[in-house]
């Protein structure tokens, strides 16, 4: 069916609400918007991207700054989005990042806006990003050893990342969270050292289970480090106790960290998180709606379906029409991502066509 303005439309999704927020048929509401700014990255993490040979989106296909600001506005003003995370690819690769953030901030003075980044080049931009209105950052860092870092990311940039994190702390972009993915036989032995470092610096370290979203399709369940294994490894050096604060849709299972033998009633030395998307999925509490850098809605990281909002926008759709397509896209969000019931053979799990870097992690 085609409606006014020549905007291509499917029949409206049965039962989807026509007002209010981003609900789905399982009673969840998405209030946390993850928006990818670009699919390109300046690292090539082995568990995410191939060494080379990625086809990048052309500049014309990427949302421009005005389109991004408008889409965020629709999310916040019409769909009850309450939190925004900018990601990629690598968002710092976009030279107009400060301009994008300033535009969002001007329209939404109180919106929490965070950035997921590898921090390469952040040392020169942290203060400017803060001035533009960025609230805080998450930095990905899988190893504190230059050689392992270079093997894992295929780029010798550890020093640059550490400088970027320091600059972010100095610019007031905290609380800083550090994301680490552990790979068997590569950096898994570093887990306690990463915790020690993060706790000493006052950062919250979050281990993310490796997910089957790599472009090379090399993930296997046998080869991944599970949340249970991470906890066991950390408990050889630290006492972990569940963080009593409510999880409230957060992906990370949080733990207080103390020295072995420390009084459990004493203040913890720090907090860590474990994001167990594969072995302890949290789909029932998911509050996320994802937008790719070419303006498509994905209701789940593992979706096979996308709804192209940028295309609608460029055809002249109104904010109300775009909001309604967004509601419909989220209404059919699957109950779960499909790996949890697949069993060890994972024969029922079909990896999405886009890899993590092209979805926006
Ligand atoms: N370039 C930015 C960065 O490095 O944080 C943002 C994009 S990156 C895709 C976002 C996060 O996804 C990173 O923390 C990265 O480690 C994580 N990631 C990428 N591929 C993954 C996979 N297969 N399994 C788990 N996490 C992955």
CA distances from 74 to 23, 56, 139, 327 (A): 15, 27, 28, 11
Tell me, in angstroms, the distance from the centre of ligand 1 to residue 305's CA: 21
How many CB atoms are located within 10 Å of the residue 310 CB?
Answer: 22
Q: Is the pLDDT of residue 344 over 50?
A: no
**In the prediction, which pLDDT does 337 show?**
80
Q: Tell me which of 86, 117, 140 to substitute to probe ligand 1's pocket, judged by most ligand atoms within 8 Å of the beta carbon.
A: 140
Rounded to whole angstroms, how far apart are CA atoms 2 and 183? 49
Q: Tell me which of 152, 155, 208 to substitute to probe ligand 1's pocket, judged by most ligand atoms within 8 Å of the beta carbon.
A: 208
CB of 299 shorter than 6 A to ligand 1: no
List, for residues 181-222, the tens digit of each pLDDT value. Answer: 999 999 999 999 999 999 999 999 999 999 988 888 888 888
Tell me, in angstroms, the distance from the centre of ligand 1 to residue 110's CA: 27
Residue 89 DSSP SS3? coil
Cis omega before residue 278 (within 30°)? no
pTM: 0.94
Q: Tell me which of 40, 43, 48, 337 to substitute to probe ligand 1's pocket, judged by most ligand atoms within 8 Å of the beta carbon.
A: 48
Rounded to whole angstroms, how far apart are CA atoms 109 and 102? 10
Report phi then psi at 328, rounded to 5: -65, -40
Bridge partners of 84, per DSSP, are 33, 113
List, for residues 24-59, the tens digit of each pLDDT value. Answer: 999 999 999 999 999 999 999 999 999 998 899 999
**In the prediction, which pLDDT does 4 show?**
46
Query: First CA to last CA across the chain, in angstroms?
Result: 34
Whole-number average pLDDT of the chain: 92
Structural contact between residues 162 and 133, judged by C-beta atoms closer than 8 angstroms: no
Question: What confidence category does residue 3 fall into, taking pLDDT thresholds of 50, 70 and 90?
Answer: very low
Q: Is the pLDDT of residue 165 over 90?
A: yes
The dihedral formed by the CA atoms of 38, 90, 115 and 83, expressed in degrees to the nearest 10 = 30
């Amino acid at each position: 069916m085609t409606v006014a303005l020549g905007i291509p439309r499917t029949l409206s999704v049965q039962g989807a609400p026509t007002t209010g927020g981003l609900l789905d048929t399982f009673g969840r509401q998405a209030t946390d918007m993850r928006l990818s700014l670009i699919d390109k990255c300046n690292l090539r993490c082995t568990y995410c991207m191939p060494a080379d040979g990625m086809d990048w989106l052309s500049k014309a296909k990427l949302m421009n700054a005005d389109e991004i600001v408008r889409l965020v506005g629709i999310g916040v003003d019409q769909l009850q989005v309450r939190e925004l995370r900018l990601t990629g690819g690598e968002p710092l690769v976009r030279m107009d990042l400060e301009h994008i953030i300033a535009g969002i901030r001007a329209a939404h003075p109180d919106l929490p806006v965070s950035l997921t980044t590898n921090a390469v080049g952040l040392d020169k931009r942290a203060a400017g990003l803060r001035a533009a209105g960025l609230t805080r950052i998450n930095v990905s860092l899988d190893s504190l050893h230059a050689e392992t870092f270079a093997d894992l990311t295929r780029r010798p940039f550890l020093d640059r990342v550490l400088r970027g994190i320091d600059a972010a702390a100095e610019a007031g972009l905290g609380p800083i969270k550090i994301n680490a993915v552990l790979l068997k036989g590569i950096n898994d032995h570093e887990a306690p050292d990463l915790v020690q470092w993060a706790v000493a610096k006052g950062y919250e370290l979050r281990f993310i289970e490796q997910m089957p979203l790599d472009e090379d399709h090399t993930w296997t369940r046998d080869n991944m480090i599970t949340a249970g294994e991470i906890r066991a490894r950390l408990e050889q050096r630290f006492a972990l106790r569940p963080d009593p604060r409510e999880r409230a849709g957060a992906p990370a299972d949080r733990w207080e960290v103390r020295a072995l033998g420390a009084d459990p009633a004493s203040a913890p030395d720090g907090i860590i998180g474990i994001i167990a998307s594969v072995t302890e999925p949290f789909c029932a509490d998911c509050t996320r709606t994802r937008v790719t850098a070419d303006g498509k809605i994905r209701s789940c990281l593992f979706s096979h379906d996308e709804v192209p909002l940028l295309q609608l926008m460029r055809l002249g759709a109104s904010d109300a029409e775009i909001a309604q397509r967004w509601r419909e896209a989220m209404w059919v969000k699957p109950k779960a991502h499909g790996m949890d019931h697949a069993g060890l053979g994972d024969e029922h799990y079909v990896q999405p066509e886009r890899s993590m870097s092209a979805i926006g992690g």
